[in-house]
């Protein structure tokens, strides 16, 4: 939440103040925006089984890889459209999107903020289920007990 708030306020400073001071404020206020992705990943890992974390991170990394291409296309079109009457519109759109994300993160934190107190089992393979004579068995996994 700190990283998302930092990015939002930094973007608002950059878009609202069109002098060099706005850029400097963006650099100072927005310096923590890089921790937003780390915080979201740490929060998400508390809800998914450990054997699914790598799959989720690969999907997140795919979106993070594609985002600059799609974002530059969208924002260059916004900038080209609004250059004559509102040149900082693209930065305000970014801040609006970040505010929506901040509201979602705040809601999730209010709803699931105390996740450590919920009963949880690690999702790991714990062995074979063999009978007393040592015949056969099958592998099984534990799961989450979050209700």
Q: What is the pTM of this model?
A: 0.62
Q: Which residue has the tokens 């060099």?
A: 20
pLDDT (tens digit, 9 = 90+) per residue, 63-99? 989 988 998 999 899 999 998 988 888 888 888 888 8
Structural tokens at position 66: 């594609």
The pLDDT, as a whole number, for residue 139 is: 44
Check residue 50 and give its pLDDT: 82
Which H helix or E strand runs over 126? strand 125-128
| Residue 138 neighbours by CB under 8 Å, 6+ apart | 128, 129
First to last CA, the chain: 25
- Best CA proximity match to 34, nearest among 61, 57, 3: 3
* pLDDT tens-digit readout, 21-38: 888 888 888 888 888 878
Q: How far apart are CA 139 and CA 127, in angstroms?
A: 6
- Report pLDDT for 146: 46
- Where b means 16+ CB within 10 Å and e means fewer, 7-32 reads bbbbbbbbbeeeeeebeebbeebbee
Asked whether 30 and 11 are in contact (CB, 8 A), the reply is yes
């Amino acid at each position: 939440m700190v990283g998302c708030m930092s990015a939002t306020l930094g973007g608002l400073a950059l878009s609202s103040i069109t002098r060099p001071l706005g850029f400097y404020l963006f650099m100072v206020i927005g310096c923590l925006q890089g921790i937003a992705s780390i915080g979201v990943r740490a929060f998400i890992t508390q809800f998914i089984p450990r054997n699914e974390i790598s799959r989720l991170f690969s999907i997140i990394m795919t979106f993070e890889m594609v985002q600059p291409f799609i974002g530059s296309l969208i924002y260059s079109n916004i900038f080209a459209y609004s250059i004559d009457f509102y040149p900082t519109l693209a930065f305000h759109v970014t801040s609006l999107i970040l505010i929506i994300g901040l509201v979602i993160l705040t809601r999730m934190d209010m709803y699931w903020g105390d996740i450590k107190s919920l009963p949880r089992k690690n999702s790991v393979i714990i062995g074979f289920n063999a009978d007393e004579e040592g015949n056969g068995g099958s592998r099984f996994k534990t799961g989450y007990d979050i209700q």
